[in-house]
Amino acid sequence: MKVITVSIQKGGTGKTSLAFHLAEHLRSKGKVLAVDLDMQGNFSSMFLGNQEIDESHHIKNIFENKELTPFNAKKNLDIIYSDIELSRFEALGVQDVYALETFLENLDGYDFVVIDTPPSLSIFTANALIPSTHVLVPLDTSRAALKGLNIFLETLPKIEKFRRKKMDVTGIAVMRYKKANFSKAILNNLENAFPDNFLQPVRDSIRISEALALGVPVWELDPRSAVSLDMLKLMNQIEKRINTIGEDDG
Ligand SMILES: Nc1ncnc2c1ncn2[C@@H]1O[C@H](COP(=O)(O)OP(=O)(O)OP(=O)(O)O)[C@@H](O)[C@H]1O
Ligand SMILES: [Mg+2]
């Protein structure tokens, strides 16, 4: 089972858009579990819309030792959802970094787990990173995102101390680049700094927001648009890396 976390502590860099498209792509290849660890619940809404589902599918159950069951949202895609209820557990100061790992260890039948995280290096992000075999870092080209990337990469070894498995930083992807010279220069710098991890960038396009609002991947909304081609290239790149790295993780 490949466990893929999408994370960076900077807000609004495209974490949820990337996690959503990846889950949609991978469900055409195998059975996917989507896990939302962000109390904003955006990842959940993309699959569920306004549909109210039972609390037995809420991620908070891992912190309460209550039963948690995935909810089947689409063909080959189950979800563990989140919403603002999760904030209670932050307020209570939960410290269990292994809660998600324990849950996943007792789970059967999934090929891929795709986890969306909040824009913070919180207990929820730690819970996501600990069982992960792969980590994807989405960026925008702001100074804050680039600074955030460095801090994030410095933090990973600290998380690794709690881990029993090897983790691979599968890639760094710029999720909404604009064709300005400024953006281009930043892309070049990133590619030079991370030649092995730099992934296909995705251009800024209103089509992404439209697709997300409808709960469909952009390549379904507008298959021939340039942004769909970017996204599909990115998906294929990620899939290839996931399948070739960390084979022995089981
Ligand atoms: N390539 C793109 N072009 C245009 N808009 C985009 C693109 N990618 C993402 N967006 C939009 O940017 C906003 C932020 O994206 P998203 O929610 O994926 O970021 P996030 O990192 O998950 O945010 P948060 O940190 O709040 O969880 C959303 O409104 C989304 O629709
Ligand atoms: Mg998000």
Q: Dig out the tokens for 101 from the structure.
A: 């790992």
Q: Which atom of ligand 1 is nearest to the CA of 203?
A: 1
| Helix (H) or strand (E) run with residue 80 in it | strand 77-80
Q: Which ligand 1 atom minimizes the distance to the CA of 20?
A: 18
- Secondary structure letter of residue 30 according to DSSP: S
pLDDT on residue 90: 85
Q: What domains appear along the chain, each with residue ranges and CATH number? A: 2-238 (3.40.50.300)
Atom of ligand 1 minimally distant from the CA of 204 = 3
- Over residues 74-104, the pLDDT tens digits come to 999 999 999 999 999 988 888 899 999 999 9
Distance 17 CA to ligand 2 centre (A): 7
Which residues lie at CB < 5 A from ion ligand 2? 15-16, 42
Residue where the block lists tokens 């209570």: 92
CA distance 5 to 131: 9
What is the per-residue pLDDT across 28-81, written as a single tens digit (0 to 9) for each? 999 999 999 999 999 999 999 989 999 999 999 999 989 999 999 999 999 999
Rounded Cα gap, residues 189 and 169, in angstroms: 18
> Over 60: is that where the pLDDT of 26 sits?
yes
Name the average pLDDT for the chain.
Answer: 93
Interval 238-247 mean pLDDT: 84
Nearest residue to 17 via CA among 143, 222, 174? 174
Mutate to test the pocket of ligand 1, among 209, 221, 233 (most ligand atoms within 8 A of CB): 209
pLDDT band at 247 (very low <50, low <70, confident <90, very high): low
* Distance from residue 70's CA to the centre of ligand 2 (Å): 20
Q: What is the pLDDT of residues 140-155, one digit of tens each?
A: 988 898 999 999 999 9
- Counting from 1 in the atom list of ligand 1, the atom nearest the Cα of 116 is 22
pLDDT tens column, 183-228: 888 899 999 999 999 999 999 999 999 999 999 999 999 999 999 9
Reading phi first (left if > 0) and then psi (alpha if -120 to 50, else beta), residue 53 is in beta
Centre of ligand 2 from the C-alpha of residue 20, in Å: 10
Output the CA–CA distances (angstroms, integers) from residue 59 to 15, 62, 193, in the order listed: 18, 6, 36
Residue 18 C-alpha to ligand 1 middle, in angstroms?
Answer: 9
